[in-house]
Structure 1
């Protein structure tokens, strides 16, 4: 399997892909569409809206990302907005259907192993409304988390990011101080 050296969480998820054909550019550029503090848990390939791309499951949302030569497509599905998910698998490929607020998104031609695993994990996320212990983050850097956010889960998420090498020691100390100051 190809080595990407993008970020530890993305590299680990990409290493579990059975095939990265047609998604290498998306894997390399995935950090551009992620929010501050967002980590990738699982990746899959598939087709959505007329193009092949990458499906990324993060600690906050499901993302379909296509980075073509002429255009870029990003569609996300925050776990709190997903009402249900359906997996229909064939011999080799299948379709993941995500239902949100009366809308339906069919991500087709997903490899069976990736699609089934992603559907199962997505069901777990939507049953809980979000990832356990995940800190809702905003797209704008440095903005305050949602009111009433559990301090312990925010600290746990920060510790996890530091452990994965996604946050420097200096940034860790600064963020930890901000969280504790919000008490």
Structure 2
């Protein structure tokens, strides 16, 4: 028994400093909400791929490429990130390269299709609530640069609901919540 305890102490992981300490709390809170054990590791390592001052607005999970990945919608881009024992996969699409977003939902999961200058990317098995919220938020991001069409009440309600979820999970601060809520209400 003592030998087992000694081995555990020798193999204990060494804590790493996060390059973006301010993001840590929000990412951890969202990770507990959305991820299974395999994806949580990738979410914990996500700040390593973020740029200086880049903030995560929303997280989701889905199957992309050879496994389950984290989809992180930041204030600058959409990131597909996977981190396993021997591999690390990072793909990103800046907003200015995305031409359209399509969400096809089933009963529990769906497929998020992102069409960009590099082609069409499909992320499958995205949980329905995460996928609809991500598609709405990404669609809103894409229309802010273009002349926006009349916004439906259902769309506004979905955006406000997503915003409430982000605040409740700790992904965004109270001030960010107030700013974004005001921005949504101004778009009416």
Q: TM-score, normalised by structure 1?
A: 0.64
CA distance in structure 2 between the aligned counterparts of 1:13 and 1:59, rounded to whole angstroms: 16
- Residue 20 of structure 1 deviates from its aligned partner by 3.2
- Residue 68 of structure 1 deviates from its aligned partner by 1.3
In the alignment, does 2:30 pair up with 1:13? yes
CA distance in structure 2 between the aligned counterparts of 1:111 and 1:72, rounded to whole angstroms: 23
In the alignment, does 2:59 pair up with 1:43? yes
Q: Which of 124, 140, 145 lines up with 1:124 in the alignment?
A: 140
CA distance in structure 2 between the aligned counterparts of 1:112 and 1:128, rounded to whole angstroms: 24
Show structure 2 runs of 5+ residues with no match.
1-20, 147-171, 177-188
Q: What is the RMSD computed on CA atoms of the aligned residues?
A: 2.4
Larger radius of gyration: 2
Show structure 1 runs of 5+ residues with no match.
131-159, 165-183
CA distance in structure 2 between the aligned counterparts of 1:40 and 1:87, rounded to whole angstroms: 21
Which one has the bigger helix percentage? 2
Q: TM-score, normalised by structure 2?
A: 0.62
Structure 1: which 4+ aligned runs deviate by more than 6 Å? Answer: none
Specify whether residues 102 and 53 from structure 1 end up closer, same or farther in structure 2 by C-alpha distance, changes over 3 A only.
Answer: closer
Report the equivalent of 1:64: 80
Specify whether residues 7 and 108 from structure 1 end up closer, same or farther in structure 2 by C-alpha distance, changes over 3 A only.
Answer: same
CA distance in structure 1 between the aligned counterparts of 2:145 and 2:81, rounded to whole angstroms: 22
